[in-house]
Structures are given as C-alpha cells and as structure tokens.
Amino acid sequence: TAKEQGKSTYQLYMPNTDTGVFQRLTLESELQRALEREEFVVYYQPQIDVSHNSTVGLEALVRWKHPKRGLLTPAEFIPLAEETGMIIQIGEWVLRKVCRQSRIWQDAGLPPLRVAVNISTRQFQQRNFVDLIEQVLQETGLEAKYLELELIENISMKNTGSVTETLKKLKSIGLHISIDDFGTGYSSLSYLKQFPVDSLKIDQSFIREITNDPDDAAIVQAIIALAHNLKLKVIAEGVETVEQLRFLEANQCDVAQGHLLGKPMSASEIQALHRKTVRPSF
C-alpha cells in the first residue's frame, strides 16, 4: 500500500549505523545510473542433488560491477535498494536477465536446469507481479518450469489471502516456489499449510555448526522431517565441508548448495562447466 511505501521512503533519511546519510544518497543515485548503464551482473551457484551428486539447479545472485569500487555483493546495496524501492526495477532486470540467459543456455544445447531467482517481498507484493512474470516468460520463450522464485519469510506475509492467491497463480503457470533462509525470519508454521510452496531452503546459519553443535543438528533434522512430511523438497544452504555434506546425506536432505559444491560463477563459467560435464568421452 501507499502507506507502507511512504514509511520505507522515510527510512532513507534516518541515520544509519553503517553508512552516512551523504554516502547513502550518493549510493541511491548511483543505483539508478547503474541500472541505466547495465552495471549489474548475475552470478549463478550450482544446486546439487545430495544422493546423485548431480547439478539439479542454479541460484541467480546479483552483483554490482561498480565503476570505482569493484564488484559489490548484495549486502552492500540490496538493503538500500529495498528501502528506496529501487529493488523493484533491479529485481525486474535480474528476472529478465536470468530468463534470457537460461534460454541462451538451452538453445546452445546445454542440459536444461531450473534457475532460482531471489524475489524481495516488496517486489512480490507489487500488484502486477504475476503479469510481469508471464510477460518475461513470453518475451524470452522460457518455459515456466525452469523458473523458481525464492521468497523469504516475512511479517508482511502474515494472514494475507492475497499472498496465497499470488502463489496459486504462479504455481498454476508452472513455476516452482521456495522459502529462502527458512527458520530465521518471521516463522509461522501456519503459512506452510496455507502457502503452496515446493521447497524449503535451510538457512546457512543452521548448517555452519551442524557437525559440532547438537542443537543445530537437531534443528536441521527437524526441518528436513517437517519438509518431507509436508511433501516439500529441502535444500541446505552454505555447505562448506565434506562432513556437513555427509550429515545432510545421512539425514536425507534432498539438495545442497555451498562453496564445497560450487561458488557463484559468471554465466560463461557456468556454460564452460556444463560443456565439460556433458561432452561425450570418446
């Protein structure tokens, strides 16, 4: 609503602990220019099926090739983009870029992989969000089944029939939906019952100490059981060691993602990797 948007706009003028007001205002105008000059790039991180050790998907992660400050990670600009509303345009750019890129890979004969795109709550709540998705799919000729949306648990998703409505529409088009950073946000188990989602992504904060901390191990086991009982797939984020992967395998986690299995890579690195994987060995 307009009221909510007004609120987030005011936040721009509030003092921030990390960044001075001047720097924030500079960043804001730079974000706008960055879009116009196409300074954003999308990296892709492989998602690996734990029991078959094969790549089953990719997650798209945006970066900003800043002309002076080099490659910036989302933590350095997404929060401000969220506050100012620029995330709507950046998100739309990422979505188009990803669908176009997936189509290019498929046309080049690479095995088709589903690509997951992170969607900010603000972007998801746009009234024309479903139309945008349909438009981009049509424009790029990508089949909906190759697109996944990652949403985070958010307080503003509480008790909204409209969230369910939007998700149902997206599902009926053929998209996959996952809940990102599961267990860290506004957690209400009731939305798992209400929202038609396909998978849960266990936040990396639970994975980090999985082999040392019995509490984390218990939480991860419980999330996996919960997901499976609800007929959902479960993905572990931030897998960095063989021991973590073994634990996940022993506990029937479906998919894993992390530096152990592949860092986020540029589109051309992904293409080179898959060329190598599928090249016949004679």
Binding site for Mg ion (CB under 5 A): 118, 150, 180-181, 237
- The pattern of x and - marking residues 170 through 209 that bind ligand C2E according to CB under 6 A reads ----------xx----------------------x-----
Query: At its nearest, how many Å lie between ligand C2E and the CB of residue 172?
Result: 23
Cβ contact 178:198 at 8 Å:
yes
- Partner in contact with 262, chosen from Mg ion, ligand C2E, none, beta carbon below 5 to 8 Å by kind: none
- Partner in contact with 58, chosen from ligand C2E, Mg ion, none, beta carbon below 5 to 8 Å by kind: none
264 contacts ligand C2E (rule: CB under 6 A): yes
- Partner in contact with 259, chosen from ligand C2E, Mg ion, none, beta carbon below 5 to 8 Å by kind: ligand C2E
- Partner in contact with 238, chosen from ligand C2E, Mg ion, none, beta carbon below 5 to 8 Å by kind: ligand C2E
Sites for ligand C2E among residues 242-261 (CB under 6 A): 258-259
Q: Over the range 251-267, which residues count as b (16 or more CB within 10 Å of their CB) and which as e?
A: bebbbbbbebbbebbeb
**Backbone phi, then psi, for 255, in 5-degree steps?**
-135, 145
Cα–Cα dist 170/180, whole Å: 17
Size of the site for ligand C2E (CB under 6 A): 23
Cβ-proximal residues to 280 (8 Å cutoff; 6+ apart), any chain:
none
Residue located via tokens 């050790």? 53
Chosen residue from 74, 79, 183, 185 binding ligand C2E by CB under 6 A: 74
From the list 189, 216, 199, 206, the residue with the least C-alpha distance to 151 is 199
Chosen residue from 34, 50, 58, 62 binding ligand C2E by CB under 6 A: 62
Cα–Cα dist 94/14, whole Å: 28
78 contacts ligand C2E (rule: CB under 6 A): yes
From the list 119, 199, 188, the residue with the least C-alpha distance to 157 is 188
